[in-house]
Chains A and B, each alone.
Chain A
Amino acid sequence: MKKVLIIGATSAIAVAVARRLSARAAAFHLVGRSEERLMDLAADLSVRGAHAVTISVLNVADLSAHEAMFETATRNLGGLDIVLIAHGTLPVQATCDTDTAYALQEFHINGTATIALSNRLAPMLTPGSTLAVISSVAGDRGRASNYLYGSAKAAVSAYLSGLSQRLSKAGINVLTIKPGFVDTPMTASFKKGAMWATPDRVAAGILTAIDKRRSMAYLPSFWYVIMKIIVNIPEFVFRRIRL
C-alpha cells in the first residue's frame, strides 16, 4: 500500500491522479485550501478503493504553516512513498504587467511556495520514494502571453533539476511534470482545440513516469517536440512572433 501525500489535492490533475491511485488501494493525506472540497474528495477516493484518507487545510502561500502540515501528514501516513505537489494559479499576464504586487504574489504561490515545500520535504524522503511536482511547459521559455507564470515555473523546473541530481544518489526520484494545455477549471475561459488534453490523460502519464522513475515528463509527450522547437527559435525571429 503506497502512502501518498498530495498538496493542491483538489486541483483537476491531482484529483485524476488520486482517483487512479485509489484503484491501487493507496492511503492518502490530502492538502488544500477548502476543507469542504477536501472532505468531498476524501469520500470519493474512499468509494473508489482508497485505503485511508486524511486531510489538512493549508494555503501554501503561508510558508510558516508548511512544517506543521508535513508533521501531520507523516504522522497520519506513517511515511511517504509518493508526494505530489500540484497546487497552482494562472495569473493574468496583463495585470502582472501593471501591478507588481500582484505579479510577485503570483510568483510566490507558483514559484517560491513550491520550492519551499520541496526544500523542506527533501530530508523527509526515504530511498525508493518519489517527489513529483507539476511544473509547466510555460517554464521552458518566457513568452509574452504568460511570462510571469512561466518565470515561476522556470524557477521550479531549475530547482527540481538540481534536487533530482542530488537526491538520485540516495535512491529518491524527483519528477518534474510539464503539462501542456489541460482542460481544467484553471483554463475554463480558454478556447479548446486539438492540442488540449484531459486531466485524466495527464494523470495516466504522471503515474507511468512515477512507476518508471523518470525525472522529466512532458504530458502529453508531443509537447517535448513542440517545446524543443520553441526553445530553439532564434531570438531575432522570436521577437517578431506572437506566442
Chain B
Amino acid sequence: MVDSRRAALPDFEGKALPRGNGRSYGDSCLNSAGTLLCTRPLDRFISFDPVSGILRAEAGVTLAQVIALTLPKGWFLPVTPGTRWATLGGAISNDVHGKNHHVAGTFGHHVRALELLRSDGTREVLSKEAPSARLAATIGGLGLTGLITWCEIQLKRVPGPWLETESIRFDSLSDFFRLSATSAASHEYTVAWIDCLAKGKALGRGHFIRSNHATGDSSVPVPGNAQRLTFPMTPPVSLVNRLTLRPFNTLYYWRQSARQVRSQQHYQSYFYPLDGIGHWNRMYGPRGFLQHQCVLPAGAAQDAVPALLRQISDSGQGSFLAVLKEFGDRPSPGMLSFARPGTTLALDFPNTGPSVFQLLRRLDLIVAEAGGTLYPAKDARMAPSLFMQGYGAALQAFQEHIDPRISSDFWRRVME
C-alpha cells in the first residue's frame, strides 16, 4: 500500500510494480514474483480550477471520482476508456484511448505534468512544458519507469452529461470504412459493433455509433449510481458460449430494425455500459476470458479485418463484444503507446482452453502479416515477436528509463 504521495516507497525485496485499480485484462498489472505497490490510497485531489479545467490529483484517483467532481462544473475527461474504474495513474501508464481518438488523441496528450517517484527515492516532476524522454517513456510505460504519485490533466468543457447519439446499421466492412470517413469531421465519438459470427455476404455487418455531447437537459431518466445488476457469484461454466453467442449476436444486430436510430444517452450508459453490471467478468465462468485487441495500419486493414472475422466465424468461437474503430493520425505521446494510425479491432473470447489459444495464434499471424500489433493492457499471451514488431523501434530508448527495481509479469513474458 502506498498511502502518502510524500512518503518514500515501502521496503520491498526483489522487484515491485505500481498498480492502480487492476483493470488491465492481462498480466501487465501483475507481478507474481514480487511486490505490488497499490496506489488506491493515493486518492486525494490537490487542486481544480473550474475556469481553466486544469485538475491536479493523486494517481490513485479513479476516473469515476474525477467525473463526479468536475462534470457538475461543466468539465469532462478529455479522453476516456470503456471503464471509469481505472485510475489516473493507470490511464497514463497505458496511454488509454477512447471513441474520440480521431479528434482528441490519447489520454497522454492531455497530461500537463506528473511526478515520478523512482525506487532509489528520487522524485522527478515531468512537464509538458519541458518535454523529456522520461515523460515519453512514462506515458504508456506500463508502470515500469517508476511510481506516478500525482498528475495534472487538462479537462474538456462539455454542456452536460448527455450525448446525442446515432446508431446506423451497416451490412459490410466497406460500409464501416465509408461511415468512419464521413463521420470523422462531424462527430466527436465514433465506434462500431461487429457481428463477428456473421458469415458470407453478412460478414462484417454491425452497428456504427457516432455521437456528440448534447446541450440542455434530457427527458431520458438519469441512471442511478448503484450497480443494480451484479454477478453475485461465478457460474460454473461461461455463460458466453456456442449456444448463447449466435442468438445474442443475431438479436443484437436486429434490435434496431430501422437503418438509423437517433437517441439521447447518459454518459454512463454510453461510455461505460459494462460498469453498470457489477463483476460482469464473472459471466465468463471460473476460467475467465481473453481479449484480443489489435491495431492494423491504414491500407492493410481493409484486407486484414475481413480475414480476422472469417477466421473467427469459421472457428465458431465468437466474441460477445467485437468493437471496431478507426484511429486518427495524431502520433501518440508515449514511446510504447498502443494507439497509432490505422484500425483497431477488440474481441472478447471465453477461455475455452487450448482451442481458443490456437484461434488467437491464428489471429496473431494475420495481425503480424498486416504489420499490426496488440494492446499490452489487454494482453495475456502474445508472443515476444509480436510485441517486438509493434514496439521494437522505441524499445532501446525506453529501456534506459526502466526503473531497475520495477518489473511485471507482462514485461518478463515479452522480453524473454
Complex interface: chain B residues within 8 A of A36 (CB)? 4, 6
Is the pair A48, B45 in contact by a Cβ cutoff of 8 Å? yes
Chain A: minimal CB distance from B21 (Å): 13
Known: A40-B44, A185-B41. A47 touches B69 (CB 8 A): yes
Is the pair A188, B46 in contact by a Cβ cutoff of 8 Å? no
Chain B: minimal CB distance from A30 (Å): 13
Contact mask for chain A residues 197-232; partner B; CB cutoff 8 A; 1 contact, 0 none: 000000000000000000000000000000000000
Contact mask for chain A residues 126-165; partner B; CB cutoff 8 A; 1 contact, 0 none: 0000000000000000000000000000000000000000
The prevalent SS among residues of B at the interface is: loop
Docked Cα-Cα span, A34 to B392, in Å, equals 47
Chain B CB within 10 Å, residue with most, of A40, A41, A185:
A40
Docked Cα-Cα span, A222 to B293, in Å, equals 44
The residue from B1, B4, B6, B44 contacting A44, defined by CB atoms under 8 A apart: B44
Is the pair A47, B48 in contact by a Cβ cutoff of 8 Å? yes
Is the pair A48, B69 in contact by a Cβ cutoff of 8 Å? yes
Contact mask for chain B residues 171-188; partner A; CB cutoff 8 A; 1 contact, 0 none: 000000000000000000
Contact mask for chain B residues 369-412; partner A; CB cutoff 8 A; 1 contact, 0 none: 00000000000000000000000000000000000000000000
Decide yes or no whether B219 CB sits under 8 A from chain A: no
Docked Cα-Cα span, A37 to B4, in Å, equals 8
Docked Cα-Cα span, A43 to B58, in Å, equals 12
Is the pair A44, B46 in contact by a Cβ cutoff of 8 Å? yes
Nearest residue (CB) in B for A40 is: B44
Complex interface: chain A residues within 8 A of B4 (CB)? 36-37, 40
Chain B: minimal CB distance from A126 (Å): 32
The prevalent SS among residues of A at the interface is: helix
Decide yes or no whether B122 CB sits under 8 A from chain A: no
Known: A36-B6, A48-B69. A43 touches B45 (CB 8 A): yes
Decide yes or no whether B3 CB sits under 8 A from chain A: yes
Is the pair B1, A188 in contact by a Cβ cutoff of 8 Å? yes
Docked Cα-Cα span, A48 to B43, in Å, equals 12
Complex interface: chain A residues within 8 A of B6 (CB)? 36, 40
Interface residues of B in 32-75 (CB under 8 A from A): 41, 44-48, 69
Contact mask for chain B residues 1-17; partner A; CB cutoff 8 A; 1 contact, 0 none: 10111100000000000
Nearest residue (CB) in A for B43 is: A44
Is the pair B1, A47 in contact by a Cβ cutoff of 8 Å? no
Complex interface: chain A residues within 8 A of B47 (CB)? 43, 47
Docked Cα-Cα span, A47 to B69, in Å, equals 8
Interface residues of B in 233-271 (CB under 8 A from A): none
Docked Cα-Cα span, A40 to B58, in Å, equals 10
In addition to A43-B46, A47-B69, 20 A-B residue pairs with Cβ atoms within 8 Å of each other are A36-B4, A36-B6, A40-B4, A40-B5, A40-B6, A40-B46, A41-B44, A43-B44, A43-B45, A44-B44, A44-B45, A44-B46, A47-B45, A47-B46, A47-B47, A48-B45, A48-B69, A185-B1, A185-B3, A188-B1
